[in-house]
């Protein structure tokens, strides 16, 4: 029911009018975005960016500006932006660049060629190019043009000042280069927005869109749910967005939110990881594509991402945020009467099948971050193992309390603490478990982190479902998965007798592909096509990326139990 996504969410208090008087002493960072140059046939455009940074005091040779070169396996405009010019009251500032060592996320820094003091103006042009990403699978952060407009996430195109200064932010749009009738919005609000003092980095957690947008509802308010998209997806997004809006309201009550938070969904095309997206500040970027045209199949992704709005935490790793979102992504819609028990069962089994057939499911949590982008089987573990971990805990808590308490109580407590501004370390979560389960809670948590199998008992998903087994083939590319990392993807470690070898793939082949391996891994019948370049020829190689057949735990519907009991 879901595509792969990456969370970049954080709560943000948004002021839609002038900043409070008490914050007037804080310096104001001004940002002007001017999209234009749209060439629909070539899939290109640009965004002219103008920053006014107050009270700069940077010595010669020190970093002045920064932007990631690569973030979460996604290229930014750091190496492709043009016409960069920095001036202060004296004159234009000469710049040099220094790049961080190559890693999963690394940055380019622009160094001042002389001492810089006072207010600084930065202008440059960020190119928009719809060419599929060279690096393959990654969150859809990059700038994109469609339907006469542009969209993208700030972490791929907005340079920021170094130093960690707290700024008020004044964001404004210049739409003079856009088609008639164009409007603009962001995770922060519609049109021009003023924010109270806070870190400049919040602009990197912000989604931006401008152009002749379609909106749902037609009249957007500052709070509550709304959606926007450009162009014409292959389905009418409005019924799906209406479903998501109702679910968002129900979830707000479930998580005991005293307010009506703003939540914006932006829908756009994705050439390589369709059906997934990225969670951002009070918003979510949902994608469709050639393999994700069914709005029903996008409901799980929407539910998953809305859950992050409330459950984001400071706990290390992704087992908490992603695991709890997978645990609830079909459960809460079923409780709300918006998915059937059969749809919930399908979601459980999709997760279980991928987890229990994963040959690397015993990988310790401490190893996941370093290996996250090298292998889809590693990348999906926080989602799948985390979900099964929370199902195990829910069952244990319900049995220990004779049904009086559940995992819901612990998650609501975590949400309450976050809302109160408290930082809850992992030890705080473990203490909550210990209150419910004693040393058993500590042991289960330690086992999860160590990579031990998380296996819910037969009734841990409720009285409607019981545990069984099925026979499935493991996901197996047939070669070293690290072959698919980097700009040039060269096959290494081909396994003799594998489906890849039988299809004709060879060591040394240079390949490209246009699907997300995370979704391929989860679909037993999904064929994989690689575009292969060998000896000057380019041709497709298609095969089923599966290996040995193994037993895997599944759940089945218990006959005679009414649907009403499934949502308890």
Mean pLDDT of 542-557: 98
Domains of the chain: 5-18+28-309 (2.60.40.3650), 324-466+559-565 (no CATH), 477-544 (2.30.42.10)
Instruction: State the number of CA atoms in the 13 A half-sphere of 267 facing the CB.
Output: 30
| pLDDT at residue 517 in the model | 87
Say yes or no to pLDDT of 568 above 70: yes
Beta-bridge partners for 71: 74
Q: Could you identify the residue written with the tokens 């099964």? A: 388
- In angstroms, rounded to a whole number, what is the distance separating the alpha carbons of residues 111 and 556? 61
Q: What is the predicted pLDDT for the residue at 486?
A: 79
Q: Minimal CA–CA distance to 317: which of 276, 269, 366?
A: 366
- Residue 6: pLDDT over 60: no
Q: What is the pLDDT of residue 220?
A: 85
Which of 128-137, 236-245, 267-276, 506-515 is modeled with the greatest confidence? 236-245
Q: What's the pLDDT score for residue 15?
A: 35
**Candidate from 21-25, 95-99, 234-238, 505-509 with smallest mean pLDDT:** 21-25
Give residue-wise pLDDT tens across range 248-283. 999 999 999 988 778 899 999 988 777 777 888 888
Task: Give the residue-averaged pLDDT of 227-256.
Answer: 93
Confidence bin at 77 (pLDDT 50/70/90): very high
CA dist 141 and 366 (Å) reads: 26
- Res 16: pLDDT: 36
**Mean predicted confidence (pLDDT) in 122-148:** 89
Q: How far is CA 256 from the centre of its chain?
A: 24
Quote the pLDDT of residue 290: 77
What's the DSSP call for residue 558?
P
pLDDT in the model for residue 104: 62
Tell me the percentage of the chain whose pLDDT exceeds 90: 75
Q: Residue 550: is its pLDDT beyond 90?
A: yes
Closest CA to 319 of 453, 445, 475, 417: 445
At 478-502, the pLDDT tens digits run 999 999 987 789 999 999 999 999 9
What are the pLDDT digits (tens) for 378-394?
Answer: 999 999 999 999 999 99
Are 11 and 312 a contacting pair, CB within 8 Å? Answer: yes
* pLDDT for the residue numbered 8: 47
Q: Are 513 and 528 in contact (CB under 8 A)?
A: yes
Longest pairwise C-alpha distance within the chain: 81
**pLDDT score at 272:** 75
The span from the CA of 148 to the CA of 126, in Å, is: 17
Given this model, what pLDDT does residue 402 score?
Answer: 96
Taking 60 as the threshold, does the pLDDT of residue 14 lie above it? no
Distances (CA, A) of 434 to 10, 196, 393, 402, 559: 28, 39, 11, 17, 36
Q: What confidence tier does 238 reach under pLDDT thresholds 50, 70, 90?
A: very high
- Higher local confidence (pLDDT), 314 or 453: 453
The pLDDT score that the predictor gives to residue 224 is: 84
The C-alpha atoms of residue 79 and residue 68 are separated, in whole angstroms, by 10
pLDDT digits (tens, 9 = 90+) for 280-293: 888 888 888 877 78
Q: Dump pLDDT digits (tens) for 351-376.
A: 999 999 999 999 999 999 989 888 99
3-state secondary structure (DSSP) of residue 555: strand
Residues in the chain: 568
Examine the pLDDT at 4 and tell me if it is beyond 70: no
What's the confidence (pLDDT) of residue 516? 76
pLDDT at 18 over 70: no
β-strand partners of 294: none
Burial of 412 per CB tally in 10 Å (0-12, 13-18, 19+): middle
| Per-residue pLDDT at 284 | 87
Strands 28-39 and 44-58: antiparallel
Please say whether the beta carbons of 172 and 32 come within 8 A: yes
Strands 283-288 and 183-186 turn out to be unpaired
Tell me what the pLDDT averaged over the chain comes to. Answer: 91
Q: Which helix (H) or strand (E) holds 449?
A: helix 439-450
At 22 the pLDDT is 42
Identify the weakest region by mean pLDDT among 186-200, 237-251, 297-311.
297-311
The better pLDDT of the pair 446, 137 is held by 446
Which of 48-52, 56-60, 216-220 shows the lowest per-residue confidence on average (mean pLDDT)? 216-220
User: Cβ(69)–Cβ(75) under 8 Å?
Assistant: yes
pTM here? 0.83
Beta-carbon contacts of residue 307 (< 8 Å; ≥ 6 apart)? 251, 324, 325, 328, 329, 332
Model pLDDT, residue 140: 87
- Whether the CA torsion 239, 242, 248, 254 is positive or negative: it is negative
Query: What does 39-97 look like in DSSP terms, one character per residue?
Result: ETTTTEEEEEEEEEEEEEEE-TTSEEEEEEEEETTEE-STTT-EEEEEE-SSSBPPEEE
pLDDT of res. 124: 98
Contact 396, 444 (CB under 8 A): yes
Contact predicate 303/225, CB 8 Å = no
Look at 33-47, 87-101, 217-231 and tell me which has the smallest mean pLDDT.
217-231
Closest by Cα among 263, 247, 115 to 185: 263
Does 430 score more than 80 pLDDT? Answer: yes
């Amino acid at each position: 029911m879901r595509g792969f996504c990456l969370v970049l969410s954080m709560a943000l208090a948004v002021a839609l009018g002038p900043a409070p008087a008490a914050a007037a002493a804080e310096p104001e960072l001004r940002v002007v975005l001017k999209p234009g140059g749209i060439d629909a046939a070539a899939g290109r455009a640009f965004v002219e960016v103008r920053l006014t940074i107050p009270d700069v005091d940077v010595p010669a040779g020190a970093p002045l500006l920064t932007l990631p070169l690569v973030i979460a396996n996604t290229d930014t405009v750091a190496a492709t932006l043009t016409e960069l010019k920095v001036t202060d009251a004296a004159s234009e500032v000469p710049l040099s660049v220094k790049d961080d060592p190559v890693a999963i996320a690394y940055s380019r820094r622009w160094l001042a060629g002389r001492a810089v003091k006072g207010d600084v103006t930065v202008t440059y042009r960020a190119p928009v190019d719809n060419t599929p990403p060279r690096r393959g699978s990654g969150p859809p952060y990059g700038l994109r043009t469609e339907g006469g407009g542009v969209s993208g996430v700030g972490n791929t195109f907005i340079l920021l000042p170094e130093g960690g200064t707290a700024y008020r932010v004044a964001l404004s749009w210049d739409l003079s280069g856009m088609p008639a009738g164009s409007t603009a919005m962001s995770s922060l609000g519609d049109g021009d927005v003023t924010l109270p003092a806070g870190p400049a980095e919040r602009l990197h957690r912000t989604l931006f869109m401008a152009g002749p947008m379609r909106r749902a509802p037609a009249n957007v308010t500052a709070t509550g749910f709304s959606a926007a998209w450009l162009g014409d997806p292959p389905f009418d997004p409005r019924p799906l967005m209406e479903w998501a809006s109702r679910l968002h309201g129900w979830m707000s009550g479930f998580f005991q939110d005293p307010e009506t938070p703003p939540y914006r969904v932006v829908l756009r095309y994705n050439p390589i990881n369709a059906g997934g997206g990225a969670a951002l500040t009070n918003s979510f970027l949902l994608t469709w594509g050639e393999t994700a045209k069914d709005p029903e199949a996008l409901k799980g992704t929407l539910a998953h991402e809305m859950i992050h709005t409330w459950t984001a935490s400071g706990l290390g790793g992704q087992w908490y945020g992603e695991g709890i979102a997978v645990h609830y992504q079909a459960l809460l819609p079923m409780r709300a009467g918006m998915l059937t028990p059969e749809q919930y069962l399908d979601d459980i089994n999709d997760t279980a099948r991928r987890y229990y057939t994963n040959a690397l499911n015993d990988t310790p949590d401490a190893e996941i971050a370093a290996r996250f982008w090298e292998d889809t089987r590693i990348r999906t573990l926080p989602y799948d193992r985390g979900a099964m971990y929370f199902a195990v805990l829910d069952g244990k808590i319900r049995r220990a309390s004779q049904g009086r308490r559940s995992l819901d109580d612990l998650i609501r407590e975590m949400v309450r603490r976050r809302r109160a501004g408290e930082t809850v370390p992992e030890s705080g979560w473990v203490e909550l478990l210990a209150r419910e389960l004693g040393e058993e809670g500590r042991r289960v948590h330690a086992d999860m982190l160590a990579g031990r199998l998380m296996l819910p008992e037969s009734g841990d998903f409720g009285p409607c479902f019981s545990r069984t087994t099925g026979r499935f083939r493991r996901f197996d590319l047939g070669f070293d998965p690290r072959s698919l990392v980097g700009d040039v993807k060269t096959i290494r470690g081909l396994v003799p007798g594998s489906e890849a070898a039988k299809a004709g793939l060879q060591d040394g082949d240079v390949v490209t592909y246009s699907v997300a391996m995370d979704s391929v891994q989860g679909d037993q019948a999904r064929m994989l096509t690689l575009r292969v370049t060998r000896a000057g020829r380019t041709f497709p190689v298609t095969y089923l990326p599966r290996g040995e057949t193994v037993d895997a735990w599944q759940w089945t519907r218990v006959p005679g139990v009414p649907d009403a009991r499934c949502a308890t």
